[in-house]
């Protein structure tokens, strides 16, 4: 009798996605779905889908979903969670959505300490709209709106979201992972598990930034894109945990007596 | 419940609580701050929640998220803030979410000023944001009516699964008047359970998705047709208006809404004492607009006077209603200046004396 050792998570819909070959959205979707299943919260989980490549995420998960306008997923998640604190609420956002148009919403959602989980997929480019420069695009990286490469004199340097948010005093869990190797994918799942668990226990806001490939808009074959990520993104976007709710946050404390 | 002297903003907030609203998301802007302030104090007393958002953009999207769970939710703002909410209001209408939005209008354009205005009539009734949609728009002329309409607004929003907007001005927000809440209020509509709400999938149905995205044009057209049918049914079933001194014959009909209609009622009383036959029709729903009622009332008069705190916005709907069948005159103030009863009296006398020019139809 054959034993099933690998199957589709319940929280993941049995459909074909529209994602390009070599894109890691599919892997990240699966990791989120596995965590939802393992925590047994699928029947009380509500996702918030952004504008961007994962705009159709509500078709790929079996959980209830809200589609949000561009950048506003953390505000929508706040509304859901405040209305129904018993629900598990997660947003799934790209870097254009979260780090550009939605920067105000993510900062204040984190600062209020909303008990929601943000899955932040950073592939250093706008995907859905066709490869424009993102706030996370690397210096010198070519995009359709910086065809000579990102000029930091004009566009500034890439924004490190996990580091930026970890300066907030409000307790939270903030980490960065990647899924471009199997081992790192396992680590990323562990970060997601911790993030969802903090929410389940009502502990704090949680955000996991996950580095992702975009062969189509990077203009390189899928097999080379993991190497590109490793060589170009990893040194600038280090993996790890940047903030934990148990008092190990990096934000400077007020001066004594001040 | 006994009558209680209440400030308009507090009455609006309390009416929402009485209607079962337990969630309020807002951002400070004058002259409506007393509404979020009241809700921040009141909602926790009844197990509700108040969030001061980082912006009107965020507040309106929190509203979207909370409404998607099926709870009764509200926000309030004033003109520039409502402009910031416009995008989300389009999404709310597209995703068919019931919410109540209060706009305590101030004078514009731009930052404008903080004093009363009716300059957002076009925005509320015709051009709130991108895409084909309508809001059901209610305009109270007293604090009691504001309290009543807020409660009705929650039922109407739930029934139509559409945003409902209450438009007032600083007078409605700041005036104090006696208000009575009945203990035995029943919903004005038969309301169905919100089976569409996204509150977790028990696994025995497809997932509920709160959404306004339809990439297939045929599906989007079907959605638009469905929305249009809903707006048509509002036009058929929800028109509200009030008449003032129309029982007797009248020579001149005033058309005004909101607090301006209060001013006009004072003017009409004075004009009647002077022996002039003047009456008023007051739209309560600005969408759906009472076109037929305005026309019918106007056809009993020889002249029509529209009074507004704008450059002339509702007057265009009066022109549509009358189709040139009666001369239309216009009396207005702008920029936060109010129309006084004396100005209305003088304008009516000028019309009667042939000293007023009717507005051009262009």
pLDDT per residue of chain B (362 residues) written in tens, 0 to 9: 789 999 999 999 999 999 999 999 999 999 999 999 999 999 999 999 999 999 999 999 999 999 999 999 999 999 999 999 999 999 999 999 999 999 999 999 999 999 999 999 999 999 999 999 999 999 999 999 999 999 999 999 999 999 999 999 999 999 999 999 988 899 999 999 999 999 999 999 999 999 999 999 999 999 999 999 999 999 999 999 999 999 999 999 999 999 999 999 999 999 999 999 999 999 999 999 999 999 999 999 999 999 999 999 999 999 999 999 999 999 999 999 999 999 999 999 999 999 999 997 65
Q: Same domain for B233 and B269?
A: no
CA distances from B226 to A67, B92, B213, B232, B362 (A): 20, 15, 15, 10, 35
Beta carbons of B187 and A75 less than 8 angstroms apart:
no
**Domain count of the fold of chain B:** 2
Q: Same domain for B118 and B42?
A: yes
CA distances from A18 to A7, A12, A70 (A): 20, 14, 19
| pLDDT for A255 | 57
Beta carbons of A105 and A74 less than 8 angstroms apart:
yes
Note whether residue B205 is domain-resident. no
CA distances from B94 to A240, B19, B54, B85, B213 (A): 40, 24, 24, 14, 8
Q: Residue B149 in 3-state DSSP?
A: helix
Beta carbons of B160 and B152 less than 8 angstroms apart:
no
ipTM: 0.96
Q: Is the pLDDT of residue A251 over 60?
A: no
- Mean pLDDT of the A167-193 span: 96
Q: Same domain for B121 and B30?
A: yes
Interchain CB distance below 8 Å, B64 and A87: no
Interchain CB distance below 8 Å, B65 and A78: yes
> Is A25-243 a CATH 3.40.50.970 domain?
yes
Domain of B84 in residue numbering reads as: 4-195+226-237
Q: What angle do CA B55, B58, B62 make, to 5 degrees?
A: 135
Note whether residue B152 is domain-resident. yes
Residue of B55, B64, B211 with shortest CB distance to A79: B64
Note whether residue B202 is domain-resident. no
Note whether residue B181 is domain-resident. yes
Name the percent of chain B in helix, strand, coil, to the closest 5: 40, 20, 40
CATH code for the domain in which residue B95 is found:
3.40.50.970
Q: Same domain for B231 and B274?
A: no
Note whether residue B180 is domain-resident. yes
Q: Same domain for B38 and B120?
A: yes
| pLDDT for A256 | 59
Q: Residue A132 in 3-state DSSP?
A: coil
Q: Same domain for B176 and B253?
A: no
| pLDDT for A253 | 54
> What gap in Å lies between CA A107 and CA A101, rounded to an integer?
12
Q: Average pLDDT, whole number, for chain A?
A: 95
Instruction: Output the 3-class SS for B49-116.
Output: EEEECCCHHHHHHHHHHHHCCCCCEEEEECHHHHHHHHHHHHHHHHCCCCCEEEEEEECCCCCCCCCE
Note whether residue B206 is domain-resident. no
Interface of B with A (CB under 8 A): 23, 25, 49, 51, 53-55, 57-59, 61-69, 71, 73, 87-88, 91, 95, 198-203, 207-213
Q: Is the pLDDT of residue A258 over 50?
A: no
Q: Same domain for B81 and B177?
A: yes
CATH code for the domain in which residue B266 is found:
3.40.50.920
| pLDDT for B2 | 85
Q: Same domain for B191 and B251?
A: no
Q: Same domain for B61 and B150?
A: yes
Note whether residue B217 is domain-resident. no
Q: Same domain for B191 and B249?
A: no
Spans of all domains in chain A: 25-243
Helices (H) and strands (E) in chain B, counts: 12, 15
Look at the pTM and tell me if it is higher than 0.90. yes
Note whether residue B33 is domain-resident. yes
Chain A interface test: which of B198, B205, B213 (most A C-beta within 10 Å): B198
């Amino acid at each position: 009798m054959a034993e099933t050792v690998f199957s589709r998570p319940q929280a993941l819909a049995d459909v074909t996605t529209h994602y390009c070959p070599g894109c890691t959205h599919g892997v990240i979707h699966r990791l989120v779905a596995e965590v939802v299943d393992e925590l047994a919260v699928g029947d009380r989980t509500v996702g918030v889908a952004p504008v961007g490549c994962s705009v159709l995420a509500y078709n790929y998960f079996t959980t209830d979903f809200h589609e949000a306008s561009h950048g506003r997923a953390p505000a929508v998640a706040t509304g859901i969670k405040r209305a129904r604190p018993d629900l598990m609420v997660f947003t799934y956002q790209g870097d254009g959505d979260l780090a550009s148009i939605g920067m105000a919403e993510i900062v204040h959602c984190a600062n209020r300490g909303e008990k929601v989980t943000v899955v932040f997929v950073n592939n250093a480019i706008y995907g859905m709209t066709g490869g424009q420069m993102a706030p996370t695009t690397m210096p010198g990286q070519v995009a359709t709106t910086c065809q000579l490469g990102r000029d930091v004199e004009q566009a500034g340097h890439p924004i490190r979201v996990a580091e930026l948010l970890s300066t907030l005093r409000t307790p939270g869990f903030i980490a960065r992972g990647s899924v471009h190797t199997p081992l790192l994918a396992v680590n990323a799942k562990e970060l997601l598990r911790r993030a969802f668990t903090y929410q389940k226990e009502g502990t704090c806001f949680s955000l996991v930034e996950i580095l992702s490939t975009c062969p189509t808009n990077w203009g390189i074959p899928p097999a080379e894109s993991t190497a590109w990520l490793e060589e170009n993104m990893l040194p600038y976007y280090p993996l790890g945990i940047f903030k934990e709710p148990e008092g190990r946050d990096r934000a400077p404390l007020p001066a004594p007596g001040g | 419940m006994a009558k209680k002297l209440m400030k308009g903003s507090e009455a609006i907030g309390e009416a929402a609580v009485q209607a079962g609203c337990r969630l309020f998301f807002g951002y400070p802007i004058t002259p409506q701050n007393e509404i979020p302030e009241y809700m921040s104090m009141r909602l926790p007393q009844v197990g509700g929640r108040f969030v001061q958002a980082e912006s009107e953009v965020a507040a309106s999207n929190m509203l979207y998220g909370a409404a998607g769970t099926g709870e009764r939710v509200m926000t309030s703002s004033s003109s520039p803030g409502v402009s910031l909410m416009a995008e989300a209001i389009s999404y709310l209408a597209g995703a068919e979410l019931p919410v109540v939005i209060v706009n305590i209008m101030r004078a514009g354009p731009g930052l404008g000023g903080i004093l009363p205005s009716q300059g957002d009539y076009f925005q509320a009734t015709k051009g709130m944001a991108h895409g084909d949609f309508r809001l059901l728009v209610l305009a109270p002329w007293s604090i009691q009516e504001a309290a009543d309409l807020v409660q009705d607004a929650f039922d109407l929003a739930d029934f139509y699964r559409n945003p409902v907007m209450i438009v007032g001005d600083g007078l409605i927000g700041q005036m104090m008047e006696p208000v009575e809440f009945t203990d035995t209020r029943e919903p004005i509509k038969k309301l169905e359970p919100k089976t569409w709400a996204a509150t977790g999938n028990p696994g025995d149905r497809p997932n509920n998705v709160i959404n306004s995205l339809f990439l297939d044009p045929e599906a989007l057209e079907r959605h638009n047709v469905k929305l249009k049918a809903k707006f048509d049914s509002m036009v058929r079933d929800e028109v509200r208006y009030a008449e003032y001194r129309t029982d007797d014959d009248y020579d001149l009909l005033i058309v005004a809404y909101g607090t301006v209609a209060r001013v006009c009622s004072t003017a009409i009383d004075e004009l009647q004492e002077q022996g002039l036959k003047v009456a008023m029709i007051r739209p309560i729903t600005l969408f759906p607009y009472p076109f037929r009622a305005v026309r019918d009332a106007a056809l009993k008069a020889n002249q029509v006077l529209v009074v507004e705190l704008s450059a002339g916005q509702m007057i265009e709907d009066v022109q549509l209603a009358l189709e040139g069948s009666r001369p239309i005159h216009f009396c207005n103030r702008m920029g936060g200046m109010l129309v006084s009863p004396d100005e209305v009296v003088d304008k009516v006398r000028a019309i009667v004396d042939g000293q007023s020019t009717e507005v051009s139809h262009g």
